[in-house]
Amino acid sequence: MQNQFLRFLLWRMVQFLPVVAMATLTIFSLIQLVPGDPAATIAGEYATAENIEAIRHSLGLDRPLWEQYGIWLWNAAQGDLSNSLLSGLPVMDEVLRRLPSTLTIAVLALCIAVIVGVPLGVLAATRADTMLDRLVTGIASLGVAVPNFWLGMILVSIFALGFGWFPTTGARPISEDFWGALHHAALPAATLATGGIAEIARQLRSSLIEVLQSQYVRTLRAKGLPNYLILWKHGLRNAALTLLTVIGLVFNHMLGATVATEAVFAISGTGSMIVNAAINKDFPVVQGAVFVLVLIVIVMNLIIDLFYSLLDPRVKKG
Amino acid sequence: MNKQEHPIIQAENVTVRFPVGRRKTLTAVDNVSISVRRGETFGLIGESGSGKSTLGRAIVCLERPTKGTVLHSGQDLHTLPRAAMRRHRQQYQIIFQDPAAALDPRMTILRSVREPLDVEGKSSLAERNARALEMMGKVGLGPAFAGLYPHQLSGGQKQRACIARVLTLQPSLIVCDEAVAALDVSIQAEILNLLADLQQEFGLTYLFITHNIGVVEHISDTVAVMYLGQIIEIAPADRLAEHYLHPYTEALLSAEPVALPTAMRPDRRILLKGELPSPMDPPSGCRFRTRCRHATELCAAQAPGLRELAPGHLTACHHAETFREKTAAYEGVS
Amino acid sequence: MDTTTKAIATPGRFISFLNWLRSDLRAALSLGYLLLLVIVSVAAPLIATHSPIAQTPDYLAPADATYLLGTDDLGRDVFSRVIYGTPMSLIASFTAVGVGLAIGLPFGMMAGYMGGWVDIVISRVIDTLLSFPGIVLAVAVTGALGIGLTNAMIAVGIVFAPNIARLIRIQTIVVKNQLYVDAARSFGMPVHRIILRHVVPNAIQPVIVQVTVMLAGALLAEASLSFLGLGVQPPWPSWGQMLARGYTYMEIAPEQMYVPGIAILLTALAYNGLGESLRARLDPTRRAGR
C-alpha cells in the first residue's frame, strides 16, 4: 500500500517535470518579447554603444538562444537566478528575503477564504432558493467583481485610519514576531481573501446542489435517511473534491493578486518586487521572481493532486 | 477491364483497429472480404459490437482500413490525391442510425439538404436550392420544411431529410447503417418502403446494416452475418431462412419474432449463453465457440475459415454439415 | 445564409431576444448599463464638464456645482476624468479579450481537431501557462513589451489565451465527433470548410459565455495594472490609475476613491451578470422543453 503510494508520488513528480521545463522556457522567452534590441532597451536612452555591448555580454545575449537557455536553466537548477541589473545583488537572495511576507498574506488569505467560504457555500446549498441563498450568491457575485486593491484601500480607510485597529502598511517577519506578523497581515489577507471566499462559496454551492438534486440522493431521502446524514455522507465527499480543485485555482489567483495588494499595503514582498523590476526593465529579477512563484504554484498543484488521489481512488490510475 | 464489370464494392481482407488507451487496440473489423454487386441490396447483420457499422464506415471511407483495401468499382480511393478522392467518394454515401445527430442543429433543413451541392459548388444558389427542394419532395418533405430546424422535426422526418441530402449527389451506393432502428415501428415500414421506391427510381445499390434479421431477409439479395468483427456466413437471402449453415445464424433466426399467437409458436427459441466477448480480447479458434452449444475442442484450437458449401453460400463453422441434426436432437429431448 | 431562411429566422430571433430581456431582469440591467457606458464613451466630450487633463490651481476641491466630484491633487476635474476613463476601460477589456481570442481560438481548435502530437504539445503549453499566477505573468509580459495601456492589454490577452484555447479545444473535440461532421466528410467537404461551416458555429457558443465573463477579468486586470503604473500613462485617466492617485491623498479627500472604484465594480458586475444570464439561456438542459 505504502509502496504503491510512493510509486504514485514519484510518477506524479515525473509528470510535473515537463510542466516545469515548459515554465522555465516560457519565463526565459519573456526577454524575447522585448521589441527591438533588448540590450539597448535595458541600457536606456542615454547609453553609449559600449554600455549596450557590456549589458549584452553580461546577460549572455550575444550567445545563441539555446545556449542562453541552457545556461539560465543550469544556473537556476543550482539556485542561481543571476544578478539584478540595478543593484547587482543575487536575485535568489532578494526573492528569499521577500518571499516570507508574500507567503504569509497568501496563506493566511487562503485559510480565511476556506474558513468563511465553505460554511457559506454549504449554507446556501442546503437552503437553495431561499433569501439566505440569494444573499450568499449576491455577496459572492460582488466578491468576484470587486477590484481587489480598491477593497484594500477601503479596508485601510475604515479599520486602520478610522478605528485604528490595524496598522495601515508594512509587514513583520513571521519568524521573529508571530502575532505582530499576523496583525500586520490581517488586512492584506482579508483583501486577498474576498475573491477566494466568493469563488469557494459559489463552486461549493453548485457542486452540492448538483449532488443533493441527483436521483440517487432523492432515493435516499425517500427512504427516510435524515438530511444531515445525506449531506455529510454523500454531499461533502463530492464537495471535498470540488473544494480541492477550487483551492488550487484560488491560491493561484491570490499569488497573482499579491502584486496589487502589496502595493496598497506597502509590503515589500515578491509581488512588488516584480512590479518594480518590470517598470525598471530589470529582467533577471522579473524572471527569477516569476520562476519562484510558478514553482510554488506547481508544488501546490502537486500537493492538491496527492490529496485528490487519497480522496478519490479512481484518479490514481489516470 | 471496364468499370461496369467491377463489383461496386469489393472489400479485400479489411481489418480496422482502434487504439484504446495505452498500447491496447480494439480490432473492430478483422480480415473481412465482401463483394457488393451493382444494383443489389446487400444485407449485413450483427449484434451491436460486431463491427458491422465500422465496416460500413470503412466502405464510405470514414474509417481507413488498418490492413486490406476497399475497392470502389475497382479503385482504392485512399490512394487517390485528396481532391480526386473527395470527388469520387460522393458516389458512396451513408445514412446513419441517429438522424438527429446527423443534421447540424444550427442549420435549416434546406441548408442541410443542400450541403453536398454546396461542396460541389458547380451551380448557382438558386439552382442548388431548387435541386434540394426537388429531392425533399422525393422523400415526402414539402417546401414548408425548408426553413425549419432539425429539432422542429420528428425522427422520421429527420431521417427523410438525411435521405434527401444524400440523394442530391446521385450516389451509386448508399450504406444504410441501422437507418430505421431508432424510429418508431410504424415509421420504420414507411422509411423502408421509401428506400425501396428510391432504389427503383434511381437504380441504387444498398448496403443494409442492421441487427434485425427479419428486415434484412425481406429486402436483401445477399446477406452476410457478422460476429465479433468477422463474417461467419454469407448466403443468398432466399436461402438463408431454410438453409442456414452456422449455429449463430440459427440463433439469430430463432430469436426473430413470429406473427403467431403464443400457443401456436414453435418453441425453438435458442438463447445464447453469456455475453458477447470483448473484441479487445476475442476467444481463440472460432470466436463464437464460447456461446455455441455445438462447440468442440477443434473449435477452440483452430479458427474455421469461410467455406463455400453451396453456390454463393459460405460459412465459417467446423460443424456446418452436422450441427442442425444435433439441434433437432436437442429439441426432440426437450 | 440564403434569403428565404433569413426572412424566417431573423425576426424570430429578434423577438425572442426581446422576450429574453423581458424575462431576465439581470440580463436587461447588465446590457442596459453596458450600453450606457458605450454611449458615455462615444459622447465623452459632450458629457464631460472640463478637460480631463487640464490642471487648475483648485487642488483637491470638494464636490460642488462646478466640479461635480471635486478635483484631484493637480486640480483636474474628477467627474470629467471618470467620464474619459470609460472608453479606456471598455477598449482595454475588449482589446485584451480580442487578443486572447486571436491566440486561443486557432490553437485550441487546432489541438482539438487535429489531435495526436499537435494536441499533446498544445495541451502541455496550455497546462503550463495556466500554472502561472495570471496577473504576475501579465506584469512580466508588460514589462518586456514596454509599459502602456495597449501592451498591458496584449499581456492580459496572452494570459487569457490558454483559458480560451482549453475551452475551445474540448468543444472542438465534441463537435468533431458528431455525425454531421462525418456526413460532411462523406460529401467530400474539405477540412477547412468543415471547420468553418460546422465546427466554429457549434463550438463557439460556450466560448461566448466565457468571453463575457473574461471581459470582467480583463477590466479588473486593466485596473490593477493601471493602479500599479503599468497601464494607462499620465496624464490620461483610467479608473484604476485614478484610484492609485486617490490613494496617496486618501486621508485628505477620501471620497475621491469611491466613484472610480464603484464604476469598476458595476462594470465588472454587468459583464458577469450578462455572462451568467447567457449561460442560463444557452444551457441545453434548460432548453429541453422547447
State whether A256 and C135 contact (CB < 8 Å).
Answer: yes
Most C CBs within 10 Å, among B119, B153, B158, to test the C interface? B119
Assigned C-alpha cell, B195 = 428506400
Which chain C residue's Cα is nearest to B168?
A: C187
Eight-class DSSP state of A48: -
State whether C137 and A148 contact (CB < 8 Å).
Answer: no
Give the CATH superfamily of C40-288: MetI-like (1.10.3720.10)
Distance from CA of C178 to the nearest CA of B (A): 7
A34: helix, strand or coil:
coil
Which chain A residue's Cα is nearest to C262?
A: A146
What residues in C contact B112, CB-CB < 8 Å? 180
Q: What is the CATH number of domain A94-317?
A: 1.10.3720.10
Instruction: Find out whether A202 and A243 touch, Cβ atoms under 8 Å.
Output: no
Q: Which residues in chain B (154-173) have CB-CB distances under 8 A to chain C?
A: 162, 165, 169
Instruction: Find out whether C272 and C213 touch, Cβ atoms under 8 Å.
Output: yes
Neighbours of chain A (3+ CB pairs under 8 A): C
Identity of the residue in C129, C134, C264 whose CB atom sits nearest the CB atom of A26: C129
Distance from CA of B213 to the nearest CA of C (A): 25
Task: List chain B domain ranges.
Answer: 3-105+171-238, 106-170, 245-330
Which residues, 6 or more positions from C65, have their beta carbon under 8 angstroms from its beta carbon?
none
Eight-class DSSP state of C58: -
Measure the CA–CA gap between C11 and C27, rounded to whole angstroms.
20
The helix-helix angle for C258-282 and C239-248 (nearest 10°) equals: 150
Q: Order of strands across the sheet with B67-72?
A: B25-36, B9-19, B67-72, B75-76
State whether C187 and B92 contact (CB < 8 Å).
Answer: no
Q: In residues, how long is chain C?
A: 290
What residues in C contact A281, CB-CB < 8 Å? 143
Q: Which of B181, B167, B176, B213 is nearest to B53 (CA)?
A: B176
Kindly state the average pLDDT of the residues A161-171: 76
Task: List chain A domain ranges.
Answer: 2-77, 94-317
Q: In residues, how long is chain B?
A: 334
What residues in C contact B104, CB-CB < 8 Å? 178, 180, 197-198, 201-202
Question: C-alpha distances in angstroms, B44 versus B24, B215, C182?
Answer: 27, 11, 21
| pLDDT in 10s for each residue of chain B, 334 residues | 455 578 899 999 999 998 887 778 888 999 999 999 998 999 999 888 889 999 999 999 999 999 999 999 888 998 999 889 999 999 999 999 999 999 998 899 999 999 999 988 788 899 999 999 999 998 989 899 998 989 889 989 999 999 999 999 999 999 999 888 888 888 888 888 899 999 999 999 999 999 888 778 788 999 999 999 999 999 998 888 888 899 998 888 887 765 555 555 555 667 677 777 888 888 888 999 888 888 888 988 888 989 998 888 999 999 888 887 777 776 655 4
Phi, psi of B221 (to 5 degrees): -95, -40
Identity of the residue in B89, B98, B110 whose CB atom sits nearest the CB atom of C179: B98
> Could you report the per-residue pLDDT of C143-179, keeping only the tens digit for each?
888 888 889 999 999 999 999 999 999 999 999 989 9
What residues in C contact B105, CB-CB < 8 Å? 202
* Complex confidence, ipTM: 0.86
Q: Which of C221, C91, C229, C231 is nearest to C156 (CA)?
A: C221
Task: List chain C domain ranges.
Answer: 40-288
According to DSSP, the residues that pair with C186 across neighbouring strands are none
Most C CBs within 10 Å, among B54, B107, B176, B207, to test the C interface? B107
- Touching pair C, A by Cβ (3+ pairs < 8 Å): yes
Q: C235: cis peptide before it, omega within 30°? A: yes
Cα-trace Rg, chain A? 24
Three state DSSP letters for B36-57? ECCCCEEEEECCCCCCHHHHHH
Which chain B residue's Cα is nearest to C9?
A: B147
pLDDT band at A317 (very low <50, low <70, confident <90, very high): very low
Distance from CA of C128 to the nearest CA of A (A): 5
State whether C182 and B129 contact (CB < 8 Å).
Answer: no
State whether C180 and B104 contact (CB < 8 Å).
Answer: yes
Q: What is the CATH number of domain B3-105+171-238?
A: 3.40.50.300
Identity of the residue in C4, C188, C202 whose CB atom sits nearest the CB atom of B86: C188
